[in-house]
Amino acid sequence: MTERWSAIAEAAQNRILILDGAMGTMIQRQKLEEEDFRGDRFADWSLPLKGDNDLLSLTKPEAVAKVHNAYLEAGADLIETNSFNATTISQADYGMQDHAEEIAAAAARVARQCADEWTRKTPEKPRAVLGSIGPLNKTLSISPKVEDSGFRDVTFDEVKETYRGQIDAMFADVDALLIETIFDTLNAKAAIVAAQEAFEAHGEERAILISGTITDRSGRTLSGQTPEAFWLSIMHAKPFAVGFNCALGADEMRPHIVAISKVADTRILAFPNAGLPNAFGEYDQDPDEMQALLKPWAESGYINILGGCCGTTPDHIRAIAKAVEASKPHTPPVVEPTLRLSGLEPFQITVNA
């Protein structure tokens, strides 16, 4: 654990921590073109690169730093590296798999520089960097072939290794790892194993935060788990915090945050979207509307870390920070030891006196 993270952990005892908002939304607002993504280094690349936001950490780091600084100015305690897709598997879509670890390292370096600069400005408010580990574009639990349910186009070891490379590349500059936007818990398990192997190899640990995604009103992840079952599947990682992000707005996410807050004996995090997308795929929920929905979560004691996902901006984060500044953080429940198992749903053995 870094000294910086020790300061964050201490702050978490007394107040709700603020996470940043959407990176992609803010990159899109800069209206970057193909040449911005390519830079001089990849000017002759054979595939289109526009949309590979992670690559900007290498080719236009000032665009990434602009986003980090805007969220830090808005009150974020924690910023995520621009590395959501910085793995060999995900970067293969752009033919960039051989550069994935370099991209991850650059993303961590940019975030580190921004966070340290703001910590120097406001030493009473330490800032920390979370290494963003996204879900991949391949899944271990679901076949991509409807005619062959047993088929997988990736193995557990391949997923673990792609995450291991990403984690090693970011390790020196991050204070914690955020395994996020999880739609397949088996992918998350591979990331957890990769993290544990990295800790052993580097001779020190980083805190782990884990955030799943409830994909729709069914109340389950894409691989079929309820919030409680999801927690039981990953609780062995002893995460600093667990929760949900993406897919849903604050109103739709609330019942799932309440559910996991009752069973997880750790801190609870959430970074919902700015509402649900409209007919054009855009997010219309403004900062006042979003903070009005999230403030009761804080007042009811459900949450420890709050931020935003798709469609959110520094204005959203500023409004959320202001709304929850007087609320006390969630107190994890005391969970009695017993046998707990999880498939798609949780199973618990209890003994009646």
Q: Which residue ranges make up the annotated binding site for Zn(2+)?
A: 246, 309-310
Q: Residues forming the annotated binding site? A: 246, 309-310
Q: Are 19 and 307 in contact (CB under 8 A)?
A: yes
Q: Are 80 and 132 in contact (CB under 8 A)?
A: yes
Cα R_g (the chain), whole angstroms: 19
The Cα 244–Cα 272 span in angstroms is 7
